[in-house]
Amino acid sequence: MGTMLLGVPLVAQGKPVTVTGIRSVTFGAVLPGVPRVVLRTDPANSGQFDIKGPKGNVLLSFVLPLTMTGPAGAQMPLTFGASDAGYSQTQSIGSQVGFDPKQPFTAAMPNNGRASVFVGGTANPATNQRAGAYTATIILNVTVLP
């Protein structure tokens, strides 16, 4: 009897955390041999994720690609610096706390349960980089910490 009564609130306690990819990282036109940097503070070209979840700490971790894939499988190196990701409790690109996207980062969700993560990076085309469209996938994992 006691177990059943306590079991109900345990289920209700599981307020889900949701993550939504809002905007891609856009390097635009890239010239062979000329690195192209997109800053996490770039409102038009930086990547953005929105997070909804319970108030408290969450662990943010990225799955980052090493390359972008282009025509006929051509690869173009993609690198991320130690401050290429940013966390915003206000979901404002102008108010971020920078962090290394290559390392897990613990962030505090605000009272309203909404936050954003921004990400930039550097595309490094070779001097003989094959022309064409290149893409890669960036994944953000969000885990609610106990």
Partner 1 sequence: MRITKLSLVVAALVLTGTALQAQSNNASITATASVQTPINVLGAQQLNFGNVFPGVNKTVNATDLTNGGRFDVTGQASTPVTLSFTLPATLSSGGNTMPIVSYTGVHALLATQVGGVAFSPAAGATPTLSGTGALFVWVGAQVQPATNQVAGVYTGSVVMTVVY
Query: Which residues of this chain interact with partner 1, rule CB under 8 A?
Result: 1-3, 6-7, 10, 13-34, 36, 47-49, 53, 59, 65, 68, 70, 76, 78, 119, 121, 123, 125, 127-146
- Alpha carbons 122 and 105: distance in angstroms, whole number: 21
Cβ neighbours around 120 below 10 Å, total: 23
- Alpha carbons 19 and 26: distance in angstroms, whole number: 20
8-state DSSP, 145: -
- Alpha carbons 122 and 84: distance in angstroms, whole number: 9
**How near is the Cβ of 59 to partner 1 at its closest, in Å?**
8
**How near is the Cβ of 33 to partner 1 at its closest, in Å?**
6
**How near is the Cβ of 142 to partner 1 at its closest, in Å?**
6
Taking alpha carbons only, the member of 16, 21, 15, 17 closest to residue 117 is 21
**How near is the Cβ of 28 to partner 1 at its closest, in Å?**
7
Whichever of 22 and 97 has its CB closer to partner 1, that residue is 22
Whichever of 22 and 108 has its CB closer to partner 1, that residue is 22
